[in-house]
Amino acid sequence: MVHVEGKRTVGAVASLVGISVRTLHHYDEIGLVVPSSRTSAGYRTYSDTDVERLYSVLSYRALGFPLEEIQVLLDDPSVDAVAHLRRQRSLLDEQIEHLQSMATALDRLLEENEMGNKLSPEDQREIWGDNWPGEEYEAEAQERWGDTEAWKQSQAYTSNLTKDDWKRIKAETDALETSLAKAMTSGVAPGTDEANALAEDHRASIERYYACDHRMHVTVSSLYVSDDRFRKHYDDVAPGLAQWLVDVVNANARGHGVEV
């Protein structure tokens, strides 16, 4: 069923824009995107205007805006949206200095030793599967961050890893992503103790490669929604997982005094 009484159902809207029903319910609960009507049975239904607002929310989220600021931007006609975008651009410029690697890409750097001997394509396929082409991400990461301290830290760590080490890391990564997906689908909300613990587990998985404080964690995780490749990876684990993980990381960082 796609439409009810001329309006789109929650499920139809979730499918249309590519987010989870749970996220739509959350946006409704906090008053960010509230469906304009309900059916006689009490089910939420969204108008075209509601969907347009939702797309605006998702656009701002892709830029890294927290939900609270997005609500101000969309609800207060006196707020200068351009000024907010310029401020966000300034923050991004500052973060770029510290954006020393893409966490998931570095997770999949398949260096076997610091002399440049890499795992073979067959080994990469065996360990990581088809979803994360290691050579592609390594080349991109090196081009963007090859002169950073984080890259040097990562290379120093990965240079001594064996194929069995990579298999172990892959198993740990899969287990963490399974835990994240299970928490999301069971309704664990960002900012709760359980969500914060998972955020710390995720941050620790990055710190095996390089120093990653809470501010860096926010910066790295923003790629999970701004880069379609990372979004696809997490959303293939569970629909909506990329956005949920970003929300969890941001909420945990706020709890540690980081302005998100």
Task: Tell me which residue range forms the domain holding 137.
Answer: 99-255
Q: Are residues 64 and 126 in the same domain?
A: no
Residue of 242 and 152 predicted with greater confidence: 242
Per-residue pLDDT tens for 67-103? 888 888 788 777 676 766 666 567 667 656 544 444 4
pLDDT in tens, 30-51: 999 999 988 778 788 999 889 9
With 60 as the cut, is the pLDDT of residue 111 above it? no
Closest CA to 218 of 256, 181, 186, 177: 256
Look up the CATH number of the domain holding residue 53: 1.10.1660.10
Whether residue 128 sits in one domain with residue 48: no
**Which of the 8 DSSP states describes residue 111?**
B
Q: Tell me which of 259 and 189 has the higher pLDDT.
A: 189
Mean pLDDT of all residues in 184-203:
94
Same domain as 107, residue 70: no
Give yes or no for a contact between 13 and 1, defined as CB atoms under 8 angstroms apart: no
- 6: pLDDT strictly greater than 80: no
- Enter the DSSP assignment of 17: H
107 and 43 assigned to the same domain: no
- Output the CA angle 39-16-176, nearest 5 degrees: 110
d(CA 22, CA 19): 8
Strand-pairing partners, residue 111, are: 118
Domain boundary among 19, 48, 79: 79
Is residue 92 one of the residues assigned to a domain?
no
For 126-148, the pLDDT digits (tens) are: 555 555 544 444 444 444 444 55
